[in-house]
Amino acid sequence: MIREPGTLAASDPSLSRPPGYTPRRDGGLGAYEAVLGRAGFAPVAGIDEAGRGACAGPLVVAAVVLDPARIKRLSGLADSKLLTAAAREEVYAEVLRWALDWHVVVIGNDQVDALGLHVCNVAGMRRAFAGLRCRPGYVLTDGFPVRGLGAPALAVWKGDRVTASVAAASVVAKVSRDRMMRDLHERYPLYGFDRHKGYNTDEHERALTEHGPSPVHRYSFVNVNRAVARPDPIDPIDPIDPVDPMDLMAAEDLAAMTPVAAVPLASHRA
């Protein structure tokens, strides 16, 4: 069955919505937060990730808690994938300005290889939520349910397109990761990380063929593993010099960030 954006990703009797507390289709991005607030579950946290499909670079997960009264001030807020890079930067600044709280977790490519992408994604969501200083009354996640958050939660299909909190988390995760990938481009300029951000494009495939994988590629991905086996790459990258996720966060240069525990996942928050 194909679900429409905004529908439940999993059935759970504890998540049934009583009459009068169903978000309206024309309620805008803040509809879920408004309904949950009326039901006594404010504040609401949204969680989303960036870099899940990339074959190089970190996986970045963000949790954001918005002030329901200020959601309408975020006029450009939308799913990060639907925004231009310039628009994302503007919305990112606005989200950090108006958010009640936010927290970012960075998971290095070595952890993705060692533990698996989905395991890292779920662990990152839990860590991002646990890093919030406020205690949300409800959590919205994009696409699939996450157990063990310690608060009631709802998985919303295409949540980054229909809920303000998840859209905000999507923007924060995406902009944070894009900045890190631009920093990695300075370290490994042969791959064009500043352009494709580690995703599998034709340009990226050609660079893998010519130079072999870098220390920040995910060797558990088929195309990267295949490039390792190719004989005599042109200008192969020295496999030493691993990149620590904390170094990437330091490269972000965001004035409001304060580091917290970072092993094996790196985390930052406002």
User: Could you report the per-residue pLDDT of 36-84, keeping only the tens digit for each?
Assistant: 988 999 999 999 999 999 999 999 999 999 988 888 778 788 778 888 9
Of the candidates 168, 171, 175, the residue with the CA atom closest to the CA atom of residue 65: 168
Place of tokens 């303000």: 164
3-class SS at 149? coil
- Compare 232 and 147 and report the one with higher pLDDT: 147
DSSP 76-88: T---GGGS-HHHH
Q: How many helices (H) and strands (E) does the chain have?
A: 10, 7
- Compare 20 and 260 and report the one with higher pLDDT: 20
Name the average pLDDT for the chain: 82
Averaged pLDDT, 144-169: 91
CA–centroid distance for 14 within its chain: 27
Whether the bond between 264 and the residue before it is cis, its omega within 30 degrees of 0, is: yes
| Separation between Cα atoms, residue 23 and residue 7, nearest integer Å | 10
For residue range 69-78, list pLDDT tens digits in order: 888 778 788 7
| Separation between Cα atoms, residue 168 and residue 72, nearest integer Å | 12
Q: Which helix (H) or strand (E) holds 129?
A: helix 117-130
| H-helix segments, 201-263 | 202-211, 222-228, 245-252
DSSP code of residue 20: T
Q: What radius of gyration do the chain's Cα atoms show?
A: 19
Q: In this model, does residue 26 exceed pLDDT 80?
A: no
